[in-house]
Amino acid sequence: MTRMRHLICMAMAAAGLMLSASVSLAQQPDEGDQPGLIADDTYQLDPEWQKQMVYYRTTEPPGTIIISTAERHLYLVQPGGRALRYGIGVGRDGFQWQGLLNITRKAEWPDWVPPPEMIQRQPYLPRFMAGGPGNPLGARAMYLGTTVYRIHGTNRPDTIGTKVSSGCFRLVNSDVMDLYDRVPVGTKVVVRQKPEL
């Protein structure tokens, strides 16, 4: 069954890639999304992007998620002036945002339905992709408010630490699974961007 599912994913991805080839001249290619690619679990993150406990002074209570888009770090606030820091991939320039939201839903191996605005920009993307290792949303997804934005896994660990997404925050699958188990629905998520001139 799972195998069947993978085959379907691969077929959809292949179609997607073929389409992308034909429209790539007119369309800004999205380096960050590669539907169908199976995540390389042996990929070693640079120490900067590896999960680690760091000093972090904040007035936000433990359990809050603070995302620094400029740093490409996600902090899960811990007691005692510290935080668990994860490396993330963030939105491309022009696709970054800031604000306060809550986690409204959590899903394991989520299906991917690229939102209409994304399809408009990248028509070669599949309209639907079932959850699985080749899915760009990766192993887990945490939905932010009623927005189209999510904290999710990835099948492209090499994009951690870069600005590639359409506004979502991606972690490697092992990290997103770790984070998923630590944060309940309702968790406060503060997204910070670098200041504007």
Partner 1 sequence: MKRTFRGGLLIGLAVAVAVAAVAVTYEIYDTRTLKRTVRRGEVLCGVNKGLPGFSIPDDKGNWTGFDVDFCRAVAAAIFDDPAKAKFIPLDANERFKELQNRKVDILSRNSTWSLSRETDYDLYFPAVAYYDGQGFMLPRARNIDSALDLNGSKVCVQDGTTTILNLADYFRANNMKYEEKKFSRLDDVVKAYEAGQCDTLTADVSQLYALRLNFAKPGDHTILPDVISKEPLAPVVRERDDDWMLIVKWTLYAMINAEELGVTSKNIDAALKSKKPDVMRLVGTEGNYGEELGLTRDWAARIIRHVGNYGEVYDRNIGAESPLKIPRGLNQLWNAGGIQYAPPIR
Nearest to 84 by CA among 178, 189, 160: 178
Pick from 21, 54, 100, 185: which binds partner 1 (CB under 8 A)?
Answer: 54
Kindly tell me which of 2 and 44 has the beta carbon lying closer to partner 1.
Answer: 44
Kindly tell me which of 75 and 180 has the beta carbon lying closer to partner 1.
Answer: 75
Token digits for 98?
A: 């800031």
Compute the least distance from the CB of residue 161 to partner 1, in Å. 9
Q: By rule CB under 8 A, what string of x and - marks binding of each residue 5-44 to partner 1?
A: ---------------------------------------x
Size of the chain in residues: 197
Q: Which residues pair with 102 in a beta bridge?
A: 188
Burial 124-143 (b: 16+ CB within 10 A, else e): bbbeebbbbbbbbbbbbbbb
- How far apart are alpha carbons 131 and 109 in whole angstroms? 5
Q: By rule CB under 8 A, what string of x and - marks binding of each residue 63-102 to partner 1?
A: ---x-x--x---x----x-xx-x-----------------
Q: Does residue 156 bind partner 1 (CB under 8 A)?
A: no
- How far apart are alpha carbons 96 and 89 in whole angstroms? 11
Q: Which residues pair with 52 in a beta bridge?
A: 85
Tell me whether residue 73 is one of the annotated catalytic residues: no
Query: Could you say which of 6, 9, 73, 152 is catalytic?
Result: 152
- How far apart are alpha carbons 111 and 11 in whole angstroms? 16
Q: Does residue 163 bind partner 1 (CB under 8 A)?
A: no
- The β-bridge relationship of strands 163-165 and 169-170 is unpaired
Q: By rule CB under 8 A, what string of x and - marks binding of each residue 110-149 to partner 1?
A: ----------------------------------------
Pick from 5, 105, 182, 194: which binds partner 1 (CB under 8 A)?
Answer: 194
Where residue 176 falls (left for φ over 0; alpha for ψ -120 to 50; beta otherwise) is alpha
Residues acting as catalytic residues: 152, 168
Give residues in contact with partner 1 (CB under 8 A): 44, 47-48, 52-58, 66, 68, 71, 75, 80, 82-83, 85, 192, 194-197
